[in-house]
Structure formats: structure tokens, C-alpha cells
Structure 1
Amino acid sequence: MLTPMQTIMRIQTSRLSTLAFSILFLSCSVNATDAVSPAFDCQKAQSQVEVLICQDNQLAKLDMQINATYQKVINQISSKEIANVKAFQRGWIKGRDDCWKAAKIKQCVQSSYETRLTELQIAAGEFEVPEPIQYECGLEANDTLTKVTAYFYNDTAIPAAMLTVSPTSDYINATNLALLTRTASGAKYQGQNFSFWTHQSEATLSQYAQADLNCKSH
């Protein structure tokens, strides 16, 4: 026969065991509930990057966002444009999967997702088109006036500027997307072969292999 003290000890041990099991069960349930699946089938994941996405909720959510916004774009364009958009998307996926070569793989994948999501959000018209700001650039540098119309998007995955530039050059198109990067002062938008650095009513347009152009809004 157990003494009163032994009975109390056994009850306490039983309660602790039950509590520990309950905590473990709840933890497993929460993890299972919180798990996020990407838009692709993780059972068929092949690349190192795809496996990482399936294991990381943040990346999986970004994949779902990309897929939903991509479908919006597809539904809004003509059949002639769809082939080009799909080819570009396949190229982007290949570039994303090349992040396995990066020193920080997740950071590379996340940056790839956020950049592409920003492009798609603007293409899909998910945000109201901002009021344009007109700039005149470079008249004092080469007697050729470069006109820039800037649309600044602040609510996209990465804040961005859509710039229309006239005249164009060998390194800049008529319409260009630039993404906000961190700077000590002002706002620097980085695009392919160019950057656009704004500060109050002034800006600097920098292009590959060309002199910087000073710009003023009007």
C-alpha cells in the first residue's frame, strides 16, 4: 500500500507527463497548421532551391503571391503577348533556381521573388498608377535635353519607379523599371544599366558608359 506522500508524488508525476504530452501535441498541431505550401507540387521538387522553398514558409508565401499575380497578368493580356510573358517567366524561374550558387541562398531567392513580384504587381495594375513627375535632364551637359517621366510606386513588394525616357540610348529603353535601394540620403532607384537618384526636386540620371545627367522636376 502506498503512503499518502507516495500517492501525491504519483499523481504529480502523472499530471506532468500529461502536460508534457499536451504541449508536444499542441506544438505539432501549430506547426502543421502554420505550414505553407508553394504553388508548385513539393512532391516533385527537384532543385535545391525548390526544396528550400518547400521548407520555408516565407518563401512559400512569396511563391503563392507570384503565382496569383502572374495569373492576373496572363488574364489581362492578348494571346499574342502570352507566349512572351510565359517565356520570360520560365527564364525568371531558371534564374531563381541559380541561387543555389549564391553564398546566401535564401537571401538570393527572396530578392528574386520580391523583384519579380514587383514587376508583376505593376503589370497587373494591382496598385493605382501614381501621379507622374516630369524631369528635364542634362541640358547644360551636352545641349541635349533628356525628358524623364517618373511614376513612383511605394506599395509594391519593393518600392519602385517606372521611368519613361526620351530620347533613348544604347543602354536605356523608352520604358524602364527601377527598384529602390538603400542610400544615406535621397532615394536611389536602380535599373538595368542605369540608376535614378532623387533628392527633393532634383535627381541624377546615371547610365552605363555615359556622363551623369542632372535633372530638375517641373
Structure 2
Amino acid sequence: MIRVFSGLLMGLAAQAVAQEGPSFDCGKAGSTAEELICADAGLAALDRRVAGRYAAALEAAGGDADELRAYQRGWIKGRDECWKAEDPAECVRAEYLRREAELVARWMLDAPFNTAVWACGGNPANEVVTMFFDTELPSLRFERGDSVDTGVQVMAASGARYEGSFGRSLRMKGDRATYREADPEGASLECELVEER
């Protein structure tokens, strides 16, 4: 009876440790970033949360899962460059928050709390749709034509500003916005809010 009870306690203790650690085996930590995550309960919890988001994104990706896996490998390589940062732990935390925001917005893992439709360049047919997500690092999904991108909120002097990939951005103030396309020219369009849902 004592052996059974002791074995049960050891099993519960091992399960509790697994729930507190990161999503990967700390015995095989291969980078400074992974070592930091293993040493910090907050970073370990963030790693588990993003691992869960990634698993959900893989399920949602269907035929695009290989592309998502490749992007995830690239993201891990970028995260592992945090050893060069002035504050490596804060860099790792920021990388995880950005990755969670990207996964949620790109794969619609949560419902958006707001959707705004913008008519840009004085042409109602030239629309940008933005969906806003309540991730820890506020995020949005840009849709313009067949193009889909994600962005995260960044500091702005006034209004709100979101930055996406390759220079894409949206700066909003009231019912007006400046949308910058992701292209070498960096063309900006003045936009007006035409619908919110």
C-alpha cells in the first residue's frame, strides 16, 4: 500500500514538473535561449503557451503545414540569436510574444474582437480589411486583395500603429488611417474607415 501511494506521489510530482517546464527537454537545451527558458518559470510558461498555439496552427494550416513548419524553424533560429541582445531574457520574451501574435492572427486561432474595413487612396474598391486580436502583444491581420499578413502593435506618438512584414504598417487615428504596403517602394495610402464589425 505504501509503495503504491509513494509511486502515485512520485508520478504526480513528475507531472507537476513537466507542467512547469518548457515544451522541450531541458536536458537537450542547445542554445542560450533554451537555457534561459529552462531557468525561468515565466519563460517556460510562455514557451508552453506558444507551443500550444503552434500545434493549433498546424491543425488549421492543413495543406500549408510544411510552409508553417519551415517558418517555425526560421523563427527558432531568430529566437536563438537573442544571445546577442543587451537583455537576452527580455529578447526571448519579446520573440515569443510576437510569435504568438503572428500565429493567432495568421491562422485565426481566436476570434477577432474587432474588424475594420478601410477604403484607401480615395477608391472604395481599394480596401484593406484589418482584424484585431486580443493577444498579450496586441495583433492584427491585414487582408488586401489576395494578400494576408499579420502585424503587432508598436509605440506611437498618437493613435495606434501596427507593423507587419517587410515594411507593411497601419497607423490609425480615429476613422482615418495611413496604410503602407509591403513593397520596396514603401507606397503609403490614406484610408478612411467605412465599416466596423
TM-score, length of structure 2 as denominator length: 0.79
Q: Residue deviations 1:54-77, cap 9 Å, x none? A: 111111111000111111222333
Partner of residue 20, structure 2: 36
Distance 1:163 1:125, change over 3 A: closer
Deviation at 1:85, TM superposition (A): 1.6
Structure 1 counterpart of 2:9: none
Indicate yes or no: 2:188 matched with 1:212: yes
Contact 1:115 1:157 in 2 (8 A): no
SS of corresponding position for 1:196: strand
Q: Provide the residue aligned with 1:146 in structure 2.
A: 126
Deviation at 1:175, TM superposition (A): 1.1
Out of 170, 182, 186, the position equivalent to 1:196 is 170
Q: Distance in 2 between matches of 1:151 and 1:105?
A: 31
Cα distance, 1:125–1:146 mapped onto 2, change above 3 Å: closer
- Structure 1 residue 115 corresponds to structure 2 residue 98: yes
Partner of 1:54: 38
Q: Which structure: larger Rg?
A: 1
| Residue identity (%) | 33
- Greater relative CO, 1 or 2 (CA 8 Å, sep 6+): 2
The separation in 2 between residues aligned to 1:198 and 1:42, in whole angstroms, is 43
* Kept after mapping to 1: 8 A contact 2:106/2:150: no
Q: Which structure's residues are more often strand, by fraction?
A: 2
| Aligned-partner Cα distance in 2 for 1:41–1:162 | 33
Any conservation in 1 of the 2:79–2:95 contact (CA below 8 Å)? Answer: yes
Distance 1:76 1:150, change over 3 A: closer
The Cα shift of 1:183 comes to 1.5
Unaligned runs of 5+ in 1: 1-31, 167-172
How far off its partner does 1:121 sit? 2.4
Map 1:172-191 → 2, pairs under 5 A: 174-191=147-164
Segment drifting more, 183-192 vs 119-128: 119-128
Which of 138, 143, 147 is the aligned partner of 1:164? 143
Looking at structure 2, the residues matched to 66 and 53 of structure 1 have their Cα atoms a distance apart, in angstroms, of: 13
Task: Compute the RMSD of aligned alpha carbons.
Answer: 2.4
Match of 2:89 among 96, 106, 109: 106
Q: TM-score, normalised by structure 1?
A: 0.72
Give the drift of 1:144. Answer: 10
